[in-house]
Amino acid sequence: MEFAELIKTPRVDNVVLHRPFYPAVEGTLCLTGHHLILSSRQDNTEELWLLHSNIDAIDKRFVGSLGTIIIKCKDFRIIQLDIPGMEECLNIASSIETSQWRLSYVNKEFAVCPTYPPIVIVPESIDDETLRKVATFRHGGRFPVLSYYHQKSKRVIMRSGQPLTGTNGRRCKEDEKLINATLRAGSRGYIIDTRSLNVAQQARAKGGGFEQEAHYPQWRRIHKSIERYHILQESLIKLVEACNDQTHNMDRWLSKLEASNWLTHIKEILTAACLVAQCIDREEASVLIHGTEGTDSTLQVTSLAQIILEPRSRTIRGFEALIEREWLQAGHPFQQRCAQSAYCNTKQKWEAPVFLLFLDCVWQILRQFPCSFEFNENFLIMLFEHAYASQFGTFLGNSESERCKLKLQQKTMSLWSWVNQPSKLSKYTNPLFEANNLVIWPSVAPQSLLLWEGIFLRWNRSSKYLDEAYEEMVNIIEYNKELQAKVNILRRQLAELETEDEMQESP
Amino acid sequence: MEHIRTTKVEQVKLLDRFATNNKSLTGTLYLTATHLLFIDSLQKETWILHHHIASVEKLALTTSGCPLVIQCKNFRIVHFIVPRERDCHDIYNSLLQLSKQAKYEDLYAFSYNPKQNDSERLQGWQLIDLAEEYKRMGVPNSHWELSDANQEYKICETYPRELYVPWTAKKTVIVGSSKFRSKGRFPVLSYYHQDKKAAICRCSQPLSGFSARCMEDERLLEAISKANPVNCYMYVVDTRPKHRIQSWWATQKDIGRIIVRTSSKIRNDEKIRESNEKKRLNAMANRAAGKGYENEDNYSSIRFQFVGIENIHVMRSSLQKLLEVNGTKGLSVNDFYSGLESSGWLRHIKAVMDAAIFLARAIMVENASVLVHCSDGWDRTSQVCSLGSLLLDSYYRTIRGFMVLIEKDWISFGHKFSERCGHLDGDPKEVSPVFTQFLECVWHLTEQFPQAFEFNEAFLLQIHEHIHSCQFGNFLGNCQKEREELKLKEKTYSLWPFLLEDQKKYLNPLYSSKSHRFIVLEPNTVSFNFKFWRNMYHQFDQTLHPRQSVFNIIMNMNEQNKQLEKDIKDLESKIKQRKNKQTDDILTKELLHSVHPESPTLKTSLCFKEQTRLPVNDSLRTIEGSSPADNRYSEYAEEFSKSEPAVVSLEYGVARMTC
């Protein structure tokens, strides 16, 4: 990508430049493909021409809507730009900051990590050889990779498998180097371990473990326990059982709902995702997330954090991309997890409603921000159905490498190509959608979390009246659009008639 | 005003109820004759009406000051910290006095002045006319007539003056029956179903001893069932749970140790519970106690039915438990649901709903009339009769119809609003959320039938606000007689015209009045259909609510659509005028070249005006709590980084994380 393509705001007026030995100059700031230029546009004042390649580091600060960028140059010079307008300042800053990330093809043959895709994003300064070494130190070869880059704060979410420290506290310099490369000098990051401290400690006996403070002094580790495997599966079985029995009296229903623990899991997952989003957006700190394998709770957290932080992931295409990236490519074992659902009596092995819990969490956020998503509840239900049984190849297999071996791309159809047909999309589009560029913070209080009736009560009670009400809502919105269009046409028509009249009057 | 010692305290902190880290706003607290007012540093005002205060509590002194916790009847809970203990003490004492008035005349309604003259005030009171309502139902008719028996409140003090009874029931029958019924509340008409010719009637429990019978009462019931020409039997619905009538009366009157013994023995044995033996013994126990229910042997053609709604005391403590659970900081999902379960609140709501459904079915399916009673016939009976009518008659699902329903089944039939809401400093055991439960049942119906109601949730919340506010006269006093004595119609204002004036706020944008399917609502009462009513019990805890309201958007859009329709008409007529004028002009020009037509500038300007008036689609969708400025999470970033080593706290209602 050319640098010029990164320039979002090429020109800002009323920028004040402070530099050593010169009085402050007010002028216009321009960004070109190679230079940052500040000119007062007066004949006798010197202009500033700064090569982008001379920029070593930048800092930004805000006082009200006035932003300040401090540019530290490779020749040790430090200059300061006061830029009116928060957005302009952020745009300028993001344009002149240089990329610290690169694509790596180290896993091209799926040799380094069988559950990773062939292409991953890693810090610019880390070479493939280092990645190979780090892979041996992380569970399943899942070395830390970029999951999400937050434009606003320039912080990142990374994910990985657990470090294989074992009982004797093995360390890996390359691993430390890799994740430290994502931090800027002096800043700290957070490691979110999706297991309780206890579970993480126990994992050491099996060769796993967690990052020791001594070896990762720039990182603060937080344990946010999220349940896994059979516990989740049992929770699902209990919940479905409770929902299916219409004879329960109120006490029994409430106690069954409670005993299923489903909403507790929802709350745990959402809380962890909010914590990550908070680190990124409020704390301006980067985050590394892992549990044991890094293929389940890790993905729930990274993907939900993106729903909270990133407006694009709340659009239909953006959400599809999120699932493709954070679930399919990231190696969530759909085949194993979704082999059986709530009714199967045979002994469960790998089944767990990890993806359904994720969808439920998205639904909870959707309920709280009903206008911020381009898709509606039906879209989530459709994805749930296809994850468990589908005529498309999208959710088959447990990883990219399996899907490659199965030649799914040649032999099956993609769910996305079917769903993205305009005729199909209309059913999944949220009529209330209005792009919301803000971070959306959901409430995770138990009073705010609801049972997802569209999934769990779907076959137990008629939703006729609710569906009709939804249709009526759509009608009102459609009618509104129609009326707006008609008013505009009539206005134009009237304006034309008026001009005609005027023309006739003033020959 | 004599109760107010301190009118203003500065540097008071208002704590966030659910924040785990003592987040607070600092501001000034003012005490007026009617309100407690807190203005924070951002000039946001919190008004609390003294009458809304349910309890004031002064907690132990802390380093930052003296905590004062105020719980309100509308479920607002505020937690202040007053820097000086003396000030706190003064405010505490003032609030104790101000929130509990001894006399009706000291209530807000008697000083509230919305700037209306006397005739407007009177018009307001005449807005809801119950005589009209009975006419709408189709009475009087060949079976039912208006009785003048209670014209002077001589037979029953807690009934209204106008009562409808079967025309065959003579005054002697009525008088006789009233003597046989608790508080003289004899069976009268509550709702008449014109199509089915069946009626919902209400009364209090009979005072039947072991063998005592009342011929007049039996005759009155017979008259009621005969007033239904289609069906020869009628249901008598006792809204109380069977076991409670027995144990309550047994202990109340302390009669017959045998009865107590047998009944407790039976209660221990769950299996026999439903057996016939038990039923017989129960009935015996009740009748022995002197009060109870109708003996099927004595009354021809009645079918007796218990529906099992608990009494006011159970309901009061149930709500208390519910509120305790919900007020917990850092509440876990499991604690929430086990609290919800053990409070029994939703079970009670379901019981009321089931009883109402029984009524509606008896009338719709069996074409049978129903007589409803509980003990005194002013709490559970009001709930069940009004909710039953609401299921049957779509009129009660309109804004005006709902007001009529409340006036009829609650206000006129003597639901003791002042005692149940604790308007005056009285017996706390008389306070009970009976009416709140009714509103909640209606809310559940609006959730199941989103298009069946003309009004929205805000309407229910507003009514709930005013049963406690004592700002209007409607809910003051405990019965019509008392209200007349208080001269409420001369001294206070009626709430209804004010609600009607604001009607726009309370309209359900999805309401479909045309569809006939909605004439009878048949709600599904499988337990999973009952949800916790967050917007009632947490109405002031904004952080727990969805950040965007679909409802408001659709409501605004509906409004906008109406405006657009009007604009289209205007534009079309203007265009038509233009076109006509142009043809005219051409004709005129051809005929009279010298005459100039009227200048078009005036119309142009009009047109532009309209353009600016057109609401922009974008402005309709506000995202509450999501702009960085008013997002409550923003302040936390700082704290997050400060709490370096061990604990990180998250604010959206929950979590503490330890490394």
Beta carbons within 10 angstroms of residue B583's beta carbon: 10
Which residues in chain B are closer than 8 Å to A472, comparing Cβ atoms?
451, 510, 512
Mutation site for B-interface testing, chosen from A243, A247, A258 by largest number of B Cβ within 10 Å: A258
Query: If you ran DSSP here, which 8-state letter would residue A11 be given?
Result: E
Letter string b/e over residues B396-405, b meaning 16 or more CB atoms within 10 A of that residue's CB:
bbbbbbbbbb
Q: Which two tokens stand for residue A372?
A: 């911020």
Q: Which two tokens stand for residue B18?
A: 């659910």
Q: Mark whether B145 and B208 lie in a shared domain.
A: yes
Mean pLDDT of B365-369: 93
Q: Mark whether A235 and A350 lie in a shared domain.
A: yes
Give the domain CATH number at B41: 2.30.29.30
Whole-number pLDDT of residue B652: 39
Residues 6+ apart with CB under 8 A from A430: A370, A371, A373, A374, A375, A376
> Is the pLDDT confidence value at A506 over 80?
no
In a domain, B273, yes or no: no
Whole-number pLDDT of residue B455: 96
Q: What is the dihedral of CA A450, A454, A456, A461, to 10 degrees?
A: 110
Whole-number pLDDT of residue A394: 95
Which residues in chain B are closer than 8 Å to A505, comparing Cβ atoms?
596-597, 599-600
Q: Mark whether A199 and A305 lie in a shared domain.
A: yes
Which residues in chain B are closer than 8 Å to A191, comparing Cβ atoms?
none
Interface of A with B in 467-486 (CB under 8 A): 468-469, 472-473, 476-477, 479-480, 483-484, 486
Last residue of a domain, one of A75, A98, A121: A98
Beta carbons within 10 angstroms of residue B260's beta carbon: 16
> Is the pLDDT confidence value at A8 over 90?
no
DSSP assignment string, B108-144: GGGT---S--HHHHHHHHHSS-HHHHHHHHT-SSSSE
Active site members of B: 374
Please indicate if any CB of chain B lies within 8 Å of the CB of A417.
no
Residue in chain A nearest B526 by alpha carbon: A246
Work out the pLDDT band at A453, boundaries 50, 70, 90.
Answer: very high
Which amino acid would we find at residue B93? N
Nearest CA to B416 among B434, B438, B440?
Answer: B434
Mean pLDDT of B463-490: 95
Please indicate if any CB of chain B lies within 8 Å of the CB of A186.
no
Q: For B34-59, how does the pLDDT look when each residue is reduced to its tens digit (9 = 90+)?
A: 999 999 998 999 999 999 999 999 99
Whole-number pLDDT of residue A381: 97
- State residue B344 phi and psi, 5-degree precision: 75, 5
Query: If you ran DSSP here, which 8-state letter would residue A158 be given?
Result: E
Please indicate if any CB of chain B lies within 8 Å of the CB of A438.
yes
Q: Residue A437: is it exposed, middle or buried by C-beta count within 10 angstroms (0-12/13-18/19+)?
A: exposed
Q: Mark whether B131 and B79 lie in a shared domain.
A: no
Last residue of a domain, one of B68, B100, B132: B100
In a domain, B73, yes or no: yes
Nearest to B544 among A445, A493, A505 (CB): A445
Nearest to A480 among B347, B560, B581 (CB): B560
The helix (H) or strand (E) run that includes residue A12 is strand A11-19
Nearest to A476 among B347, B558, B653 (CB): B558
Residues 6+ apart with CB under 8 A from B484: none
To the nearest whole angstrom, how far is the Cα of A134 from the nearest Cα of chain B?
A: 25
Please indicate if any CB of chain B lies within 8 Å of the CB of A181.
no
To the nearest whole angstrom, how far is the Cα of A341 from the nearest Cα of chain B?
A: 22
Query: What range defines the domain where residue A186 resides?
Result: 101-330+340-380+438-457
Please indicate if any CB of chain B lies within 8 Å of the CB of A171.
no
Whole-number Å distance between alpha carbons of B503 and B292? 44
Record: contact B596-A505, CB cut-off 8 A: yes
Total CB pairs under 8 A between chain A and B: 245
Q: Mark whether B73 and B139 lie in a shared domain.
A: no
To the nearest whole angstrom, how far is the Cα of B461 from the nearest Cα of chain A?
A: 18
Nearest to B529 among A197, A461, A484 (CB): A461
Q: Mark whether A138 and A12 lie in a shared domain.
A: no
Whole-number Å distance between alpha carbons of A281 and A191? 15
Whole-number Å distance between alpha carbons of B483 and B488? 6
Whole-number Å distance between alpha carbons of A486 and B563? 13
Residues 6+ apart with CB under 8 A from B201: B187, B188, B189, B190, B224, B369, B370, B371, B372
Q: Mark whether B144 and B234 lie in a shared domain.
A: yes
Whole-number pLDDT of residue B494: 95
Q: Mark whether B139 and B223 lie in a shared domain.
A: yes
Q: Mark whether A144 and A75 lie in a shared domain.
A: no
Record: contact B528-A461, CB cut-off 8 A: yes
Mean pLDDT of chain B: 82
Give the residue, B634 or A406, on which the prediction is more confident.
A406
Give the residue, B422 or B285, on which the prediction is more confident.
B422
Work out the pLDDT band at A124, boundaries 50, 70, 90.
Answer: confident
Record: contact A445-B512, CB cut-off 8 A: no
Whole-number pLDDT of residue A448: 94
Q: Is the peptide bond before B140 cis (omega within 30 degrees of 0)?
A: yes
Letter string b/e over residues A113-137, b meaning 16 or more CB atoms within 10 A of that residue's CB:
bbbbbeebebbeebeeebbbbbbeb
Please indicate if any CB of chain B lies within 8 Å of the CB of A2.
no
Whole-number pLDDT of residue A481: 94
Percent of residues, chain A, with pLDDT higher than 70: 97
Q: Mark whether A220 and A322 lie in a shared domain.
A: yes
Query: What range defines the domain where residue B71 resides?
Result: 8-100
Query: If you ran DSSP here, which 8-state letter would residue B56 be given?
Result: E
User: What distances in angstroms separate CA A97 from CA A3, A151, B354, B358, one per listed residue?
Assistant: 11, 11, 66, 71
Q: Mark whether A33 and A113 lie in a shared domain.
A: no
Record: contact B654-A267, CB cut-off 8 A: yes
Q: Mark whether A9 and A128 lie in a shared domain.
A: no
Work out the pLDDT band at B515, boundaries 50, 70, 90.
Answer: low
Q: For B332-365, how does the pLDDT look when each residue is reduced to its tens digit (9 = 90+)?
A: 999 999 999 999 999 999 999 999 999 999 999 9
* Parallel, antiparallel or unpaired: strands A22-31 and A11-19: antiparallel
Residue in chain A nearest B642 by alpha carbon: A283
Q: Mark whether A276 and A297 lie in a shared domain.
A: yes
Residue in chain A nearest B335 by alpha carbon: A258
Percent of residues, chain B, with pLDDT higher than 90: 62
Q: Mark whether A137 and A199 lie in a shared domain.
A: yes
Whole-number pLDDT of residue A364: 97
In a domain, A137, yes or no: yes
Nearest CA to A159 among A206, A117, A207?
Answer: A117
Give the residue, A184 or B595, on which the prediction is more confident.
A184
Minimum mean pLDDT range among A105-109, A444-448, B457-461, B621-625: B621-625
Work out the pLDDT band at B261, boundaries 50, 70, 90.
Answer: very low
In a domain, B127, yes or no: yes
Whole-number pLDDT of residue B609: 34
Q: Mark whether A35 and A164 lie in a shared domain.
A: no
In a domain, A484, yes or no: no
Which residues in chain B are closer than 8 Å to A473, comparing Cβ atoms?
510, 550, 554
Q: For B98-135, how does the pLDDT look when each residue is reduced to its tens digit (9 = 90+)?
A: 988 889 999 999 999 988 888 999 999 999 999 999 99
Q: Which residues of B are annotated as a binding site?
A: 311-312, 374-380
> Is the pLDDT confidence value at A328 over 90?
yes
Whole-number Å distance between alpha carbons of A390 and A293? 26
Record: contact A461-B338, CB cut-off 8 A: no
Nearest CA to B196 among B354, B388, B387?
Answer: B388
Q: For A127-175, how does the pLDDT look when each residue is reduced to its tens digit (9 = 90+)?
A: 999 999 999 999 999 999 999 999 888 899 999 999 999 998 899 999 9
> Is the pLDDT confidence value at A52 over 50?
yes
Whole-number pLDDT of residue B262: 39
> Is the pLDDT confidence value at B158 over 60?
yes
In a domain, A470, yes or no: no
What angle (nearest 5°) sits at the alpha carbon of residue B590, between those of residues B584 and B593?
Answer: 100
Q: Which two tokens stand for residue B231?
A: 């069906």
To the nearest whole angstrom, how far is the Cα of B397 from the nearest Cα of chain A?
A: 16
Please indicate if any CB of chain B lies within 8 Å of the CB of A425.
no
Nearest CA to A287 among A382, A227, A373, A211?
Answer: A211
DSSP assignment string, A383-431: HHHHHHS-SSSTT-SSSHHHHHHTTHHHHS--HHHHHTSHHHHHHHB-T
Residue in chain A nearest B616 by alpha carbon: A484
Q: Which residues of B are annotated as a binding site for substrate?
A: 311-312, 374-380
In a domain, B106, yes or no: no
Record: contact B550-A274, CB cut-off 8 A: no
Query: E strands within A78-197?
Result: 78-84, 101-104, 120-123, 145-150, 155-159, 189-193
Record: contact A477-B568, CB cut-off 8 A: no
User: How many separate domains does chain A show?
Assistant: 2
Mean pLDDT of B516-524: 79
The helix (H) or strand (E) run that includes residue B74 is none
Record: contact A487-B568, CB cut-off 8 A: yes
Mean pLDDT of B531-548: 91
Whole-number Å distance between alpha carbons of B203 and B303? 16
The terminus-to-terminus CA distance of chain A in angstroms comes to 58
Last residue of a domain, one of B517, B552, B587: B552
Nearest CA to A285 among A213, A383, A228, A219?
Answer: A219
Please indicate if any CB of chain B lies within 8 Å of the CB of A205.
no
Q: For B292-304, how does the pLDDT look when each residue is reduced to its tens digit (9 = 90+)?
A: 778 777 887 889 8
Residue in chain A nearest B632 by alpha carbon: A441
Nearest CA to B28 among B13, B16, B15, B49?
Answer: B13
Nearest to B654 among A271, A372, A494 (CB): A271
Q: Mark whether A51 and A188 lie in a shared domain.
A: no
Query: How would you write B192-242 as a 3-class SS string?
Result: EECCCCEEEEEECCECCCCCCCCHHHHHHHHHHHHCCCCCCCEEEEECCCH
User: Are the C-beta atoms of residues B540 and B38 closer than 8 Å to each other?
Assistant: no
Q: Given phi > 0 = left and psi -120 to 50 = alpha, else beta, which region is B121?
A: alpha
**Rounded (to 5) percent helix, strand, coil in chain B:** 50, 15, 35
* Parallel, antiparallel or unpaired: strands B369-373 and B234-238: parallel
> Is the pLDDT confidence value at A452 over 50?
yes
User: Are the C-beta atoms of residues B190 and B413 closer than 8 Å to each other?
Assistant: yes
pTM given for the model: 0.85
Q: Mark whether A257 and A357 lie in a shared domain.
A: yes
